[in-house]
Amino acid sequence: MGYDLAMRVWRGDADGGELRDFTVEVEEGMVVLDAVHRLQATQANDLAVRWNCKAGKCGSCSAEVNGKPRLMCMTRLNLFDPGETVTITPLRTFPVVRDLVTDVAFNYEKAEEVPTFAPGRPTGDDGHHRMQQVDVDRVQEFRKCIECFMCQNVCHVLRDHEDKKKVFAGPRLMIRYAELEMHPLDTNDRRDLLREEAGVGYCNITKCCTDVCPEHIKITDNGIIPLKERVADASFDPIAALGRRLRRHSPADDGTGGA
């Protein structure tokens, strides 16, 4: 059954813009992205919108729907009353290109700053690396990230404090750090970097990143808090530091990776 949907869409570019009202005929079962496409096809041919997979897997169609970050292709219209106006705006945290499209380059620049995976010398007799499933289980959660950058967008550190973009990498990058720090073969120690350049201390664990993640990655509980604890091991725990100094004399590897 079709009905008329009241939509309010932000139109504009870097020089300015505004919310414009539209009425679009929609059918049951449609998602917000379908309604945007219908709007584009019927009334606003030049409306800029980014999308790709329509299956919640490419992370292109992130926008804010009624003030909340969402993947447009995964937001069904039956989430809203048929009489309710659905307001769609571009991600607020990044510079706007046009209409619903923003420039997310910031996230890639931050990604470049992460020291890459550095496996040590292979431990297998055959010259191959060996890992156990139990060691990679927790890392695999972070690999589900589709880089929709909604966590980066909603994080108040970046969203409300433009100057902090210089000093805080943001939640998406935090789980990248976590993935590497917890990797059983990785030999880098990124803890000083996390405390300083990546700015893990700016996160105040208020968990909005976790709330919006479409892949339901427990960004804060499983990524950022374990990183904060690792940083505490290295920088804020005199007893742990003493333990490390004592243990340095014994070569036994207890699997702590220096912790």
Partner 1 sequence: MPVRTRPAPTADPAVTPRPVPAPRAAVGARTLRKDNWWVEPLVTVVVLVGFVAYGMWAALRNGNYFHDPYLSPFYSPCLTDNCLDNATPHIFGDISPVSPALIILVFPLGFRLTCYYYRKAYYRSFWWAPPACAVPDFRRGYQGETRFPLILQNIHRYFWYFAIIFAGLLTYDAVLAFIYDGHFGIGVGTGVLVVNAALIWLYSLSCHSCRHLCGGGLKRLSAAPLRRRVWARLSVLNRHHMFFAWASLLWIMATDFYIWLVASGHLTDAHWIA
What residue ranges bind ligand SF4 (CB under 6 A)?
Answer: 59, 145-151, 154-157, 171-172, 175, 203-209, 212-215, 217, 219-220, 224
CA atoms lying within 13 Å on the CB side of residue 184? 15
Separation of alpha carbons 196 and 181, rounded Å: 16
Site for ligand FES in 70-89 (CB under 6 A): 71, 73
Sheet containing 2-13, strands listed edge to edge, beginning at the edge strand earlier in sequence: 16-27, 2-13, 86-89, 62-65, 68-71
149: partner contacted, choices partner 1, ligand SF4, ligand FES, none (Cβ within 5-8 A by kind): ligand SF4
- Tell the smallest beta-carbon distance from residue 58 to ligand SF4 (Å): 11
- Tell the smallest beta-carbon distance from residue 249 to ligand FES (Å): 32
Given its phi and psi angles, is residue 89 left (phi above 0), alpha (psi -120 to 50 degrees) or beta?
A: beta
- Tell the smallest beta-carbon distance from residue 226 to partner 1 (Å): 6
Which tokens sit at 213? 């993640």
Q: Is residue 224 a contact partner of residue 200, using CB atoms and an 8 Å limit? A: yes
Separation of alpha carbons 86 and 35, rounded Å: 10
The site string for ligand FES over 34-53 (x = CB under 6 A, - otherwise) reads -----------------xxx
- Tell the smallest beta-carbon distance from residue 90 to partner 1 (Å): 5
Q: Smaller CB distance to ligand FES: residue 57 or 207?
A: 57
Enumerate binding residues for ligand FES (CB under 6 A): 51-54, 56-61, 71, 73
